Amino acid sequence: MKSEGEYNKLSSPEVIQFIEDQLTTPIPELVLKGSPFPSIPINLLVNQVVGKNKARKKLPTWHKNPKIIYPPKLNLEQTSSEITARHKSKLIEGDTLIDLTGGFGVDDYFFSKQVNSLTYCEYNSDLFEISKYNFNVLSVKNIKCLNQDSIELLKESTHKYDWIYVDPSRRNKNQKVFLIKDSLPNLLEHQKLLENKSQQMMIKTSPMYDIEAGYKELSGVKELHVVSIKNEVKELLWIIDWRTTSSRNIKLYNYDSQKKYTKNVLQHDGLISSDKVGLSPCLKYIYEFNSSIMKSGLYDRLAIRYGLLKLEQNTNLFTCETLIKSFPGKIYKMNTIETINFKKLKREFKGRFINIISKNIKLTPSNLEKKIGFKTGTDTDYLIFAKTIEGNKVIKATKL
């Protein structure tokens, strides 16, 4: 376990300058060179270099502060990004919050601006020391840091918190996991305890976690947020209010930058199959929903709302004659549509740069790349291979 004294050494001006100078040095080379500072082991300098590079985009507030201490890469990978942490903090209001899985403290830094008093709990001593030090460096005054098992702490506590937050560890015995029952702590074993010790709770789960499983396993779900960044689902956030009965309110977000996002709100009552979207041959525009919407499973319902038709029941591409600029996802303009003829496609596209989409047909984009011999690239030219109601087709399209 490192101490405050060791972290102070890492934030001295000459060490900060050394780290700054090494940001582009390959890590094996840095390890081989060794530490120029007798009292600082090289692995701590490596953590700082790796951490700073990673924080540039993921954690801009941390990156700006030269005194921040970074944990090993594995712990850093498990932290929330600043965009998603800010998102979560906007959902919190109240007097007290306890985070049962403090980690690198990214979520707590933003939560601390929303509540009067926050308890950070983390059983890994190194992470605990680092986060405690960093909260100080970031001038946060209302976080109490505890280095212990948070479930044991809750069992012994007589306090009822306004909020419990949990971002369970998705590493268990060195295996990557994504189910709640396999993550640490296993919240399913402690639902009664959690209910007794909080008014509301927020659970972050992996994007791979099945939404239907969540509704079955968790009680009191008030809202589900599916949060994507640049069209990649990053987090499922389960907002639980023990005082209300479960409801299937889903909010879908896709962030482009810290402040810019698209949002869709849907009421999901589990009767998705009763909403039958119409089918149609490919029309002038093709629409592909963003990843949060696809994850929610509510794309057909939303397509009806936008007046779209589907190319085939199991082909998740939608179409219509008009351009809907506010569509949450990608829009393509159809140029031509043909039956797939690989000889002809090879003659036309071999060696050319093009983007590929493959939907509901057996060939993956890399199979197609090998078969036709094109190169992937360009901003706007697409070949869309898809099963349509008129059979398997290739659509030449332009991304708008």
Ligand X SMILES: C[S@@+](CC[C@H](N)C(=O)[O-])C[C@H]1O[C@@H](n2cnc3c(N)ncnc32)[C@H](O)[C@@H]1O
Binding site for ligand X (CB under 6 A): 78-80, 100-101, 103-107, 121-124, 127, 149-151, 167, 169, 184-185
Encoded tokens for 246:
């479960």
Find how far residue 268's CA is from the centre of its chain.
Answer: 21
Q: Which is closer to ligand X, CB of 202 or CB of 337?
A: 202
Q: How far is the CB of 93 from ligand X (least distance, A)?
A: 19
Size of the chain, expressed as the number of residues it contains:
400
Residue 373's region, left for phi above 0, alpha for psi from -120 to 50, else beta, is: left
Residue whose CB is less far from ligand X, 150 or 254: 150
Residue 158 sits at the vertex; the CA angle it makes with 157 and 163, to the nearest 5 degrees, is 80
CB of residue 167 to ligand X, shortest distance in Å: 4
Residue nearest to ligand X (CB): 103
Q: How far is the CB of 226 from ligand X (least distance, A)?
A: 18
Contact 84, 233 (CB under 8 A): no
Contact status, residue 250 vs residue 265, Cβ threshold 8 Å? yes
Structure tokens at 376: 């992937």
Instruction: Between 85 and 252, name the residue whose CB sits nearer to ligand X.
Output: 85
Q: Give me the least distance between CB of 80 and ligand X, in Å please.
A: 4
- Residue 14 or 77 having the CB closest to ligand X: 77
- Closest distance of CB 274 from ligand X, Å: 38
Cβ proximity to ligand X, 11 vs 124, nearer residue: 124
Q: Which is closer to ligand X, CB of 185 or CB of 328?
A: 185
Least distance to ligand X, CB of residue 98, Å? 11
Long-range contacts formed by 167-174: CB under 8 A, 24+ apart: 167/80, 167/99, 167/101, 167/103, 167/107, 167/203, 167/204, 168/101, 168/203, 168/204, 168/205, 169/78, 169/101, 169/103, 170/78, 170/206, 171/74, 171/78
Residues 104 and 77: their CA atoms lie apart, in Å, by 10
